Structure 1
């Protein structure tokens, strides 16, 4: 490490002083700095020379951004941000200020992170939720599902324009036609608009309730989450092995709270009358028609029923 004396002696070196002046002049004549000076003629050169380090940072980070290697490899001091210079008057004298500003990539990443935070899933593959969506691809995979997809698009547009209503969607169709995928698309698009939501894969959820029923706090937190989220999707309802407690005290309580408040969505292989038969039967008590009807009174009046036709897409690329 150089001593203070060595540094002072080097400053007396004419060649070094000339190199320093050349670098300084080159910086002041850089196109970005010249543009700044043209936009702010009130900022004299003496003031600029006091902020050479800021000008250097500004020029260097602009160069990095022009040759952006991507957010993960950002070489700027504050990754994902660049130096933005502004001129402001303090006590009547103009001066140069630097602010770190997020770049477009950082803004996009933060937006995606914010969307992800608005969406929770119970037992649904996260790749389905965040794998990316292409509306042309959604429509083009199978023309037979075009009517259902257009209704879904209309629902998303109307909600973005007019806000949430207590009315959801009941999407039913054969195996592998894309019901879960389309509901994840709806959830993602409305999360972009600022709504939070939860998607629940019903067969695993009902099974898991057996293990958490003894943990009162966890059970309450789970049920409260499903009651209060803006958007709730019960995925593959009708495929679960119901017991009376899960049906009457958990599913019933959630639906009873949400009706007339917030929309609930469903995907199922059953049409509504088939779902009613399913909800009327439990492995313990057998058929209980009135209990199935009671649940359906909290489902059927609050959904638009949309049949989804098409070919089984599972295993296809």
Structure 2
């Protein structure tokens, strides 16, 4: 959009005067200006005439906003913002001050961006975190899931009302019932409240740890992030191929730090008994029941069990 100065620069002599007078007349009779003066009686005609460029910008911004084409195609000079005019007294005289204000779409995007910055994902499909969430749809998609969904909803409400506790959730059930989706929803909802969170897809994380052995700085940074975030989700625990080092010195260290401090969450196809058996076995040392029990002692007291029943949503989409 051209500014008033750019429009008038194209004219000289009488044309300049005639055009500027016509613009002023149109602006003074514009419904947007009449509305401005009705809301702010202190902004009189003389003040507006003395601030023609600001008034021109204000009217054009308001008109664009009234026919908004969407944030990415915003025609205003400052995308996602519009001009606001205010009158104030300075040195005994009234002056018109222009400031830029973010529109509702821009504020919504800024808010969503700030939420995303609070969430980190390790090996989880970003689409699971970027989907729109609708509580009615989540509840109605499969009625068999209702008890588990209600428990997750209740957990979110309690945290919003009372703050975090060290108690997390252990969400288990068969393939494709929406465990990752529900935990991503929980993470998103609590990130809105200002909490930081990390979600980790365990099979890929464990595989990647093998390369981190050679990069101690990256390993320390990754483990520290998982130790210190407000909410930590281990997604699909039990599907990974454990080594003694990963189990005892990485996973064990993270859980040992977080217990009694911050909540940890899990999704799994295994119930507790099956998970303990899985954690007791490593590809190198075979079965070590006491090692599995030791890790379960850092899991089971600090979670509420949520059994997610339901149909395989992946299969129903094919």
Pair in the same fold by TM > 0.5: yes
**Partners of 1:8 and 1:195 in 2: how far apart?**
54
Q: Is the contact made by 2:263 and 2:302 (CA closer than 8 Å) also made in structure 1? A: yes
**Partners of 1:210 and 1:173 in 2: how far apart?**
29
| 1:72-94 per-position Cα deviation (integer Å, ceiling 9, x unaligned) | 11000000000011112223322
Unaligned runs of 5+ in 1: 1-6
**Partners of 1:44 and 1:111 in 2: how far apart?**
37
1:17 maps to 17
Per-residue deviation, 1:43? 3.7
Per-residue deviation, 1:185? 0.7
| 1:72-124 per-position Cα deviation (integer Å, ceiling 9, x unaligned) | 11000000000011112223322111111110110111111111111111110
Change (3 A) 1:64 1:274: same
1:45 maps to 45
1:209 maps to 209
Per-residue deviation, 1:16? 5.0
Per-residue deviation, 1:29? 2.1
2:89 maps to 89
Alignment of 1:117-196 (within 5 A): 117-196=117-196
Note if 1:280 corresponds to 2:265. no
Q: Is the contact made by 2:265 and 2:303 (CA closer than 8 Å) also made in structure 1? A: yes
**Partners of 1:221 and 1:39 in 2: how far apart?**
55
The residue matched to 2:32 in structure 1 has which SS?
Answer: helix
| 1:99-155 per-position Cα deviation (integer Å, ceiling 9, x unaligned) | 111101101111111111111111100001111112122112211110000000000
Alignment of 1:183-262 (within 5 A): 183-262=183-262
1:305 maps to 305
The residue matched to 1:139 in structure 2 has which SS?
Answer: helix
When the two chains are superposed, the root-mean-square deviation of aligned CA atoms in Å is 1.6
Unaligned runs of 5+ in 2: 1-8
**TM-score (structure 2 length as normaliser):** 0.93
Change (3 A) 1:138 1:10: closer
1:264 maps to 264
**Partners of 2:278 and 2:51 in 1: how far apart?**
74
**Partners of 2:273 and 2:10 in 1: how far apart?**
90
Q: Is the contact made by 2:84 and 2:100 (CA closer than 8 Å) also made in structure 1? A: yes
| 1:203-256 per-position Cα deviation (integer Å, ceiling 9, x unaligned) | 110010001111010000000000000100000001111000000000000000
The residue matched to 1:217 in structure 2 has which SS?
Answer: helix
1:3 maps to none
The residue matched to 1:227 in structure 2 has which SS?
Answer: helix
Per-residue deviation, 1:23? 1.8
| 1:183-211 per-position Cα deviation (integer Å, ceiling 9, x unaligned) | 11111111111111000000110010001
**Partners of 1:135 and 1:9 in 2: how far apart?**
59
Per-residue deviation, 1:46? 2.8
Change (3 A) 1:151 1:75: same
Per-residue deviation, 1:36? 2.6
**Partners of 1:43 and 1:64 in 2: how far apart?**
22
